[in-house]
Structure 1
Amino acid sequence: MANAQYTFTSELWKWEARASRYFVSLPEAVSDEIEAMYGALAGGFGSLRVKVTVGGSRWSTSIFPDGKRATYVLPVKKPVRIAEGLADGDPVHIDLVIAS
């Protein structure tokens, strides 16, 4: 199975339980497709390995299912937020490849 690639824009949000953590929610249609195609390959906490590009920043991480939002969420670490000038509520253009 070829690794699927997704491109989308979504809002950066701060996790209320830990204000130092920021995420982007994947669009529902993207999350549904990823779950259908790759859900059986999920690791701990339902995570899936991904490669991400935001602007000039590229990194590998995992996406996680979020039952409250009914989508996968992508963590965006501080070095990426600083490098790309991102703040809470900003739209983020994301290129994401499933690495599982």
Structure 2
Amino acid sequence: MIYLFDAEAWLWDARQGDSWVFVSLPEEASVEIREVAGALPRGFGSVRVTVTLGATVWKTSIFPDAKAGVYVLPLKKAVRKAEGVEAGDTVTVKVELDL
């Protein structure tokens, strides 16, 4: 399953000093992912993915955000630096589930 979407990068308010930046997956995609991956027990409900942002491709995990009801994708500092992304920027992201 592959999802391509635009999202605003946001700073996680619980760890602002550490500069944890995320994007939220669309609600429709999150529902579909939950249906497919929900039966796979992983830490914190995470799902393994391959992500493409600009010219950068990396493997990571997405995590459920119970408050927002969607999955969130952390944007590593190295990726943000390579792609010139800061919190508040809108980015185009491709997320492929690694089930």
Would you say 1:52 and 2:51 are equivalent positions?
A: yes
Aligned mates of 1:92, 1:42 — CA distance in 2: 30
Q: Is the 8 A contact 1:42 1:48 kept in 2?
A: no
Identical counterparts, % of pairs = 53
TM-score for the superposition, normalised by structure 2: 0.95
Paired letter, 2:5? F
Match of 2:72 in 1: 73
Superposition CA RMSD, Å: 0.8
Per-residue CA shift, 1:21-68, capped at 9, x if unaligned?
010000000100111111111401000000000000000000000011
Aligned mates of 1:39, 1:50 — CA distance in 2: 14
Paired positions, count: 97
TM-score for the superposition, normalised by structure 1: 0.94
Paired letter, 1:12? A
Match of 1:12 in 2: 9
Aligned mates of 1:40, 1:24 — CA distance in 2: 24
Match of 1:96 in 2: 95
**SS where residue 18 of structure 1 aligns?**
helix
Aligned mates of 1:8, 1:41 — CA distance in 2: 24
Unaligned runs of 5+ in 1: none
Unaligned runs of 5+ in 2: none
Paired letter, 1:6? Y
Structure-2 change in CA distance of 1:27 and 1:59 (3 Å):
same
